[in-house]
């Protein structure tokens, strides 16, 4: 007997999948046949997705709420869609886009229309992903221009750091010894020493 599965994806563990879950329940899916991933859609190396694909058999049916839940990489969405429908021989229904229902129009024209819609939607999904990355980069650049610092705050320098730096600069102690005295890796000591010296010169 052919089985019906549903796939849900949210980008992070903090995001809520309830909206997708409700839509798939309303389509009549059983929760035991739902697969949920909580990670980026940049590729298809997701544990629950891969587990689901292993279970899919010819003439099974897969529901997703929208094409971007399947993925966000334009080329990979197209490749995966063709793999599922042609090699695995399953049908796919995208709830937000009734034209993307491979149970309908299995003739040449139906397949052609479905391919066009899929390519447009996949392009839109990837374009949005690129826009998000660009907005993030612009936001980070603007924040840095305002003096916002990213990453973990630096640990406070030991009180005798200036003295250790002078000893290191004069060659009376090695960099390794100076780093050990400061309780930090050698690379960190050199970086902090250079930053300290630059600050002193300003």
Instruction: Give the active site residue among 11, 40, 66, 188.
Output: 11
Average pLDDT (14-35) is 90
Whole-number percent of the chain with pLDDT over 70: 86
Report the predicted TM-score, pTM, of the whole model to 2 decimal places: 0.58
**Of the listed ranges 73-82, 93-102, 147-156, the one predicted with least confidence:** 147-156
Confidence of residue 154 (pLDDT cuts 50, 70, 90): low
Confidence of residue 200 (pLDDT cuts 50, 70, 90): low
- Over the chain, what HEC string results? CCCEEEEEEECCCCCCCHHHHHHHHHCCCCHHHEEEEECCCCCCCCHHHHHHHHHCCCCCEEEECCHHHHCCCHHHHHHHHHHHHHHCCCEEEECCCCCCECCCCCCHHHHHHHHHHHHHHHHHHHHHHHHHHHHHHHHHHHHHHCCCCCCCCCCCCCCCHHHHHHHHHHCCCCHHHHHHHHCCCHHHHHHHHHHHHHHHHC
Catalytic status, residue 11? yes
Tens digits of residue pLDDT in 47-74: 999 999 999 999 999 999 988 888 777 7
């Amino acid at each position: 007997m052919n089985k019906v599965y549903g796939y849900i994806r949210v980008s992070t563990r903090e995001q809520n999948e309830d909206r997708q879950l409700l839509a798939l329940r309303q389509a009549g899916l059983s929760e035991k046949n739902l697969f949920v991933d909580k990670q980026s859609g940049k590729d298809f190396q997701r544990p629950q997705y891969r587990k689901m694909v292993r279970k899919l058999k010819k003439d099974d049916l897969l529901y997703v709420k929208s094409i971007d839940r399947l993925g966000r990489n334009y080329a990979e969405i197209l490749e995966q869609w063709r793999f599922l429908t042609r090699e695995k021989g399953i049908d796919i229904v995208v709830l937000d886009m009734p034209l993307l229902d491979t149970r309908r129009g299995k003739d040449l024209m139906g397949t052609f229309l479905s391919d066009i819609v899929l390519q447009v939607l996949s392009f839109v999904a990837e374009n949005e992903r690129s826009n998000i990355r660009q907005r993030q980069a612009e936001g980070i650049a603007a924040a840095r221009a305002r003096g916002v610092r990213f990453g973990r705050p630096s640990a406070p320098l030991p009180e005798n750091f200036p003295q250790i730096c002078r000893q290191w600069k004069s060659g009376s102690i090695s960099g390794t010894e100076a780093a050990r005295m400061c309780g930090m890796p050698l690379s960190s000591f050199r970086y902090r020493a250079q930053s300290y010296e630059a600050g002193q010169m300003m």
